[in-house]
Structure 1
Amino acid sequence: MSDDKKPLGLRGGSGTSHVKQSFSHGRSKAVVVEKKRKRVIVPGKGGAAGGVGGRPAGISDAELDRRKRALAAAAAAEGERKAREEAETKARETERAERRAERDRKEREEEERQQALRAKEEAKKKAAEAPKKAPRAEEKPAAANDPAAAQAAAQRAEAGGRAAPKRDDQKKDNKQPRQQKGGGNDRRRSGKLTINQALAGGGNRQRSLASIKRKQERQRREMMGDAGGEREKVVRDVQVPEMITVQELANRMAEKTAAVVKALMTNGIMATQNQSIDADTAELIVEEFGHKVVRVSDADVEDAINVIEDDEADLEPRAPVITIMGHVDHGKTSVLDALRKTNVVSGEAGGITQHIGAYQITTEGGTLLTFLDTPGHAAFTSMRSRGAQVTDIVVLVVAANDGVMPQTIEAIAHAKAADVPLIIAINKMDVEGADPTRVRTDLLQHEVIVEAMSGEVQDVEISALKGTGLDNLLECIALQSELLELKANPNRAASGAVIEAKLDTGRGPVATVLVEAGTLKKGDIFVVGQQWGKVRALVDDQGKTITEAGPSRPVEVLGLNGTPEAGDVLNVVASEAEAREIADYRAQAAKDKKAAAGAGTTLDQLLAKAKADENVSELPILVKADVQGSTEAIVQAMEKVGNDEVRVRVLHSGVGAITESDVTLAEASGAPIIGFNVRANAPARNAANQKGVEIRYYSIIYDLVDDVKAAASGLLSAEVKETFIGYAKIKEVFKITGVGKIGGCEITEGVARRSAGVRLLRDNVVIHEGKLKTLKRFKDEVKEAQAGQECGMAFENYEDIRADDVIEIFETEEIERKLD
């Protein structure tokens, strides 16, 4: 800083000073710094800025008056607040004092009332004892002649009858606790109750209002004359199931558990309250206690499903349910495709229907028709059977160029078993070689007589590809439905049949249900087979979410707790508890039935089966499919694969994606995993790669069955075919040191090979069979020797050879076998 410049600082109240500043290498420098002085304001005097008359600097008179008025207003408000708080405090104290006085008044009144009751009881007791204890004759004159004694007796009677209550001022003066019955102190006035006081003052306790009420009730019963009588016993209807615990039985009878246990012991049954007893024992105990027995069964839970008999007035027309059946590749799905005017086949592998599909269409005339499309392969026989059971009309599709085939015959049998009318649709009339007359003639062999041959079964010639004849088919269906007069009551609890069920990722268990009666609504609680649920959503065949489904309408139902079996019956129940109870009962019944079937096998049968299976090879597999019907069909097909030597055993089958637990089971059993229209999730794929488990995916059942047959054929023992190639005769036997016995032979027929098998014949009897150790001509080892040549032969591990023995030479060939 230069000398000609003044230091910067605040105006009025600052000063300067010199400070020496040191640097590195011994350098230093003087620096002028500014020092600020603190401003001090003294009340009543001018500040550093020169305030006048106690007024701060820069404050006008108006501002000063305004500040004074604000201070005065604040002081006045503070005073009012304090006065208000004091008034509220006094009011609260007054109110507390009034409540305390009121409580004391009520306590005094209660005490006086109790003392009056006690005095009355004492008077009654003395009146009752007076005749028994009459005064002696010599005492009466003394009491009568002595006024002091009479006065003392009167005072004692007065003190014994009722103690006069003390005044409040007397209590305050004496400061003694109030006396109660027995001379004890009132503990409610004496502060905290100690343990010693509680133990020592047992006689000072006051009677409770409950004890007084009980005494009054006893007195009332005595006055009514039923003091010694017992209350009338309530006889109850006790429901007794097949098994019940002792405690539950006691609760149903409203008896003490200890009394029930005692009754059981009396009858020689040692049971605790948590043990179960059978229905007969429970009935004996119930009758012993005087109650009525109502025998119930576990199957009574099924009564929650109401079997409603509909009145004719409530029935309304419903759409017919038509099932499309026929042989593989006869055009069933193509016919349905043409009727729906959508492409169903494109979504199926190879044009083969893998599942039962349910669709509803509307004709040009406005008629609703519900169609079920069942697979045509022989493995899906059971699925077609379920389709026939829920249907009203069966449309049997037969190809005009192919005629009646095995699956066609099965479809006819299913339709006859279900007792439903048939309509024959002769398809592929546009194909070269179509012969509808041959189809009609072949149907005669199976007792199906069409109208063209003077029968009652309708037949229509159609072409699904060209779209011809479909109108006639719809007319036949409408005519047949009119003859059937199909009706149902939509205004009742719904019931239906499960067409198909699957485990969908993201939606959980999904069941395709065909509603048969009533209306299924969103929010309904239902039970289906061994599963139950609440309708979370309803999806129609077009993929749209709907709120309700009437009779003959197929819908997908979401909200199940598990995957039901295809063909199970769905019933709507009143509550979730009923649904869960019915499902649990059915699951337990199925489990007991399975266990009983296993337990019914005798030991001899088990041993015979084990002996029969001793030489049978098994191919274990795991099956996972997308829907329940496919799983069932695959398992049935696997059971048919095999013979007496080999068979396929399905370790586990289920619906849904392949999981890590499936891989673990497959690894433990050495089995491959078969996935039908499903895939393994990421953890399952990683586990399969680590553990070396084979996972195979299929979308067509033909390929699956063929591959499993090929794998099972590998377990068959190969067929051994033996081919004769020559004979040799031993002329002389030579013994060579270090080698053993060698036969000098002559090939009499065929050829002798080193790798062939040989048999040693002595007098036309086989005494040894094995392999050649050596085959020599002169000193050289050769591979074969021709007829007429001489050679030397030695057997492996056998030396008992003699002259004139015959050696038979043959070759074996293994032929692989395959399952049919």
Structure 2
Amino acid sequence: MSDTDGKKTLGLRGGPRSGQVKQSFSHGRTKNVVVETKRKRVMVPKPGAGKGGAGGAASSDPSRRPAGISDAEQDRRLKALQAAKAREADEQRAREEEEKRREEDRQRRREEAEAKEREDREREERARQKAEEEERARKEAAASKARAEAAAAQPAPAAADEPRGPAAAKPAPARKDRERDNNRGDDRQNRGKGRDDNRRAGKLTLNQALSGGEGGRQRSLAAMKRKQERARQKALGGGDNREKIVRDVQVPETIVVSELANRMAERVADVVKELMKMGMMVTQNQSIDADTAELIVEEFGHKVVRVSDADVEDVIDTVEDKEEDLVSRPPVITIMGHVDHGKTSLLDAIRDAKVVAGEAGGITQHIGAYQVTTDGGAVLSFLDTPGHAAFTSMRARGAQVTDIVVLVVAADDSVMPQTIEAINHAKAAEVPMIVAINKCDKPEANPDKVRTELLQHEVIVEKMSGEVQDVEVSAITGQGLDELLEAIALQSEILELKANPHRAASGAVIEAQLDVGRGPVATVLVQNGTLKQGDIFVVGEQWGKVRALISDTGERVTEAGPSVPVEVLGLNGTPEAGDVLNVVETEAQAREIAEYRENAAKEKRAAAGAATTLEQLMAKAKEDENVQEMPILVKADVQGSAEAIVQAMEKIGNEEVRVRVLHAGVGAITETDVGLAEASGAPIMGFNVRANAPARNAANQKGVEIRYYSVIYDLVDDVKAAASGLLSAEIRENFIGYAEIKEVFKVSGVGKVAGCLVTEGVARRSAGVRLLRDNVVIHEGTLKTLKRFKDEVPEVQSGQECGMAFENYDDIRAGDVIEIFEREEIERALD
């Protein structure tokens, strides 16, 4: 074998071949690129291979076998390949059999569905035929009866002209059969035409229902069944005799048309159509009044139940408690009395805590609510009210929620004005009273004087043979505290105070404030039921959900029973002190009640403003022209303080000056307050609050004055002093002398000059003068000249003669008297 035959030379013949391709780019640019192509190796079996094929050749010919593969491995691979082909053939056969079986099941179900549908059609057809025959028989019987009656009523010739009923009815069956055949043919034709939804026989699949096929969305099988049922009911004559359901429809003062239709369970279109018949062109979103709604309800055959908007408050539970549900509750005691008579100190001694230290100036500014447990185990709820006159309304609220009033009177000061007010509040609320004569440790104390002075106000204590308990106490030494608690416990037993803790809670707001970190906070004294965390409630014009309950000691609690004071968090706004809290079932009810109360309050304010005539407005405007107003803004920490300050401001002023509170609110002083103060030129009075940083900067830039107070007396005194500055000075006249005219002279260039004798006092050139004739003032003015002899002098003493000439007045006579006086301006102040 030559080298050329036995050996292969190295070269590029079997490797990749190269060539060039012309590549085109945009804007006519081209580029020649060199590419390589590889030839694909094709395996061609040798001719003359046996039945074993390539496998047999490969197994017998070691040169055709891949490198590194033995004969055993090659046989094993061939057997595995043959087994895989056999398995694949078996699986193909199984799939074909399964598909054949499924097709047979589908065909069987299709035939069953067609047979069922055929049976339904036949049953429907039989029912329809039966109904038609019954209807035809009924009509024929009615017609025969009518013809018989007509024949009996007509004379014989007329009856002879017309065929009798049976004779006339003979051709009817043939005609009826023809009509039935035609109708049956039409039904078959229409039934064939009606199936335009391309619904295949059998069950409707989900894909068919969702895809809708080629012709759009198809009717479901349930819709077809409903249609068939309606047709069957109509054929049987049972579709028109449904009984009308009469409903009780609640009709408020105004109602939307769609809502009225819903309450009647009628179609909105029918209601609108009925309204249009009445001449009212309305839509379903428009409102109609109660009278119109009542006519519509009666037209549709329902019953009308008239309700008003105020019925939304009916959800508040007002059910009377059963006697077996009532349990004893702690009494609510209110401490009342004059300022600085020791009310808080007395409560401090009872609680054994320092409350006075927390009040500015040692004066109670708010209503405090506390619970005390005595040594005997009795639980008492105390309300500490301020004694100053500005807190009259706060004391009134304290008397409204209390069971027992403890009237504190200082033994060294006796009965004072606010003591009398507290007595009146207690009597108005019909609350039993206990008199605590405080400061009995002082040397000048005189308890008997207190008892005697209380008699003037119809308060007769036990030592004066009355029914009102009185105890001599001292908050400093602790004298009489046990006796006071015993008196309270005795009075509580007499009252037999009970409440039902197992019902929806209700209570009174003692105080409310807007806390920076916690939002609106209300101090609530629970009066009935148990207030729990998570309860939904409505209080005045506000509502909320109890987010947290905080006791008087500052601890968080989960519930509060009757006579327990707690701070409630979770309100949507700050309520008014004195509002009633009621727990309701749902937030929707609470929101609806709050909105109704808010709208009612707005309408009441609007009605109060509109209830004036034009003449009244003009008269008020004329009065206001002569009255100077001092505008102020008030921001306080709690609602009660703001209300008390506003009431104190209303009392400042007289017919010339008054204080006008532009805005009174709760919370910190904000930029909005500064803007309002700048627009109205009013100062801002902050009571126990401060301005935030943006408000301070705005006040400095706009020149708005902000004053801070922690004691209400200082605020009232400053406002009163500022309002006094608006008063005009009082003009006071001082009479300094009299002069009598003796003679009247005419002087050229001057006019008439009176020769006078000063009879009393002194005559001054700068003073004012009045001319009296027969003790009647005929002129008031000033002097033009005052001369003594020929010299001008500033004044003339009594007993001397002088000459006087009036400014712009010449009607003077001998015998007239000149009254000389001086005017003095005196600064005024408000009382």
TM-score interval (norm. to shorter): 0.7 to 0.9
- Pick from 218, 225, 235: which aligns with 1:213? 225
CA offset at residue 313 of structure 1? 2.1
Per the alignment, residue 409 of structure 1 pairs with 420
Contact 2:757 2:802 in 1 (8 A): no
CA offset at residue 209 of structure 1? 4.2
Q: Distance in 2 between matches of 1:312 and 1:639?
A: 47
Contact 1:785 1:791 in 2 (8 A): no
Q: Deviations over 1:727-775 (max 9, x none)?
A: 788845444xxxxx58878775466666544668899865563586x88
Per the alignment, residue 635 of structure 1 pairs with 646
Per the alignment, residue 482 of structure 1 pairs with 493
Q: Distance in 2 between matches of 1:88 and 1:311?
A: 85
- Pick from 396, 404, 409: which aligns with 1:393? 404
Q: Deviations over 1:429-481 (max 9, x none)?
A: 11121111111111122222222222222111111111111111111112221
Per the alignment, residue 380 of structure 1 pairs with 391
Q: Deviations over 1:72-103 (max 9, x none)?
A: 9xx99xx99x99x9999989998997899589
Contact 1:742 1:794 in 2 (8 A): no
Would you say 1:295 and 2:310 are equivalent positions? Answer: no
- Pick from 657, 667, 690: which aligns with 2:678? 667
Per the alignment, residue 579 of structure 2 pairs with 568
Matching residue's letter, 1:321: V
Q: Secondary structure at the match of 2:607?
A: helix
Shift in CA distance, 770/91, structure 1 to aligned 2, threshold 3 Å: farther
Q: Secondary structure at the match of 2:244?
A: coil
Q: Secondary structure at the match of 2:625?
A: coil
Q: Distance in 2 between matches of 1:451 and 1:220?
A: 93
Would you say 1:589 and 2:595 are equivalent positions? Answer: no
- Pick from 554, 557, 560: which aligns with 1:549? 560
Per the alignment, residue 49 of structure 1 pairs with none
Per the alignment, residue 251 of structure 2 pairs with 240
Q: Distance in 2 between matches of 1:487 and 1:277?
A: 48
Would you say 1:285 and 2:296 are equivalent positions? Answer: yes
Per the alignment, residue 264 of structure 1 pairs with 275
Would you say 1:722 and 2:733 are equivalent positions? Answer: yes
Matching residue's letter, 1:350: G
Shift in CA distance, 392/790, structure 1 to aligned 2, threshold 3 Å: closer
Q: Distance in 2 between matches of 1:502 and 1:694?
A: 24
Shift in CA distance, 789/454, structure 1 to aligned 2, threshold 3 Å: closer
Shift in CA distance, 218/398, structure 1 to aligned 2, threshold 3 Å: closer
Q: Deviations over 1:146-194 (max 9, x none)?
A: xxxxxxxxxxxxxx999xxxxxxxxxxxxxxxxx979999899xxxxxx
Contact 1:733 1:803 in 2 (8 A): no
Per the alignment, residue 236 of structure 2 pairs with 224
Contact 2:627 2:656 in 1 (8 A): yes
Shift in CA distance, 232/700, structure 1 to aligned 2, threshold 3 Å: same
Q: Secondary structure at the match of 1:586?
A: helix
Contact 1:401 1:431 in 2 (8 A): yes
CA offset at residue 240 of structure 1? 0.5
Contact 2:767 2:782 in 1 (8 A): no
Counterpart mapping for 1:774-793 below 5 A: 784-787=794-797
Per the alignment, residue 710 of structure 1 pairs with 721
Q: Secondary structure at the match of 1:613?
A: helix
Q: Deviations over 1:357-383 (max 9, x none)?
A: 111111112211111111111121111
Which of 542-551 and 604-613 deviates more?
604-613
Q: Distance in 2 between matches of 1:344 and 1:429?
A: 21
Q: How many residue pairs align between the two structures?
A: 686
Which of 636-645 and 124-133 deviates more?
124-133
Q: Deviations over 1:44-87 (max 9, x none)?
A: xxxxxxxxxxxxxxxxxxxxx99xxxxx9xx99xx99x99x999
Matching residue's letter, 1:372: L
Contact 1:777 1:792 in 2 (8 A): no
- Pick from 678, 683, 695: which aligns with 1:684? 695
Q: Secondary structure at the match of 1:675?
A: strand
Q: Distance in 1 between matches of 2:387 and 2:90?
A: 94
Q: Secondary structure at the match of 1:571?
A: strand
- Pick from 441, 462, 467: which aligns with 1:456? 467
Counterpart mapping for 1:288-327 below 5 A: 288-327=299-338
CA offset at residue 213 of structure 1? 2.8
CA offset at residue 801 of structure 1? 8.8
Contact 1:122 1:161 in 2 (8 A): no
Q: Secondary structure at the match of 2:661?
A: strand
Which of 546-555 and 585-594 deviates more?
585-594
CA offset at residue 218 of structure 1? 4.1
Would you say 1:769 and 2:788 are equivalent positions? Answer: no
Shift in CA distance, 745/520, structure 1 to aligned 2, threshold 3 Å: same
CA offset at residue 720 of structure 1? 0.8
Would you say 1:501 and 2:533 are equivalent positions? Answer: no
Matching residue's letter, 1:652: H
Q: Distance in 2 between matches of 1:425 and 1:335?
A: 9
TM-score (norm 2): 0.73
Shift in CA distance, 670/215, structure 1 to aligned 2, threshold 3 Å: closer
Per the alignment, residue 336 of structure 1 pairs with 347
Contact 2:536 2:585 in 1 (8 A): yes
Shift in CA distance, 118/541, structure 1 to aligned 2, threshold 3 Å: closer
Contact 1:710 1:819 in 2 (8 A): yes
Which of 749-758 and 324-333 deviates more?
749-758
TM-score (norm 1): 0.73
Q: Distance in 2 between matches of 1:300 and 1:89?
A: 78
Would you say 1:365 and 2:376 are equivalent positions? Answer: yes
CA offset at residue 226 of structure 1? 3.0
Q: Distance in 1 between matches of 2:793 and 2:112?
A: 132
Q: Deviations over 1:314-334 (max 9, x none)?
A: 222221111111111111111
Matching residue's letter, 1:216: Q
Q: Deviations over 1:284-338 (max 9, x none)?
A: 1100011111111211111111123222222222211111111111111110011
Q: CA RMSD in A?
A: 4.6
Shift in CA distance, 123/566, structure 1 to aligned 2, threshold 3 Å: closer
Q: Distance in 2 between matches of 1:500 and 1:92?
A: 86
CA offset at residue 587 of structure 1? 1.2
CA offset at residue 408 of structure 1? 1.3
Q: Which blocks of at least 5 consecutive residues in structure 1 are unaligned?
A: 1-64, 67-71, 136-159, 163-179, 189-197, 736-740
Q: Secondary structure at the match of 2:563?
A: coil
Would you say 1:517 and 2:564 are equivalent positions? Answer: no
Shift in CA distance, 183/249, structure 1 to aligned 2, threshold 3 Å: closer
- Pick from 616, 628, 631: which aligns with 1:620? 631
Q: Secondary structure at the match of 1:811?
A: strand
Shift in CA distance, 123/245, structure 1 to aligned 2, threshold 3 Å: closer
Q: Distance in 2 between matches of 1:541 and 1:208?
A: 68
Q: Distance in 1 between matches of 2:350 and 2:434?
A: 16
CA offset at residue 223 of structure 1? 4.8
Shift in CA distance, 559/752, structure 1 to aligned 2, threshold 3 Å: same
Per the alignment, residue 31 of structure 1 pairs with none
Q: Distance in 2 between matches of 1:205 and 1:338?
A: 85
Contact 1:734 1:744 in 2 (8 A): no
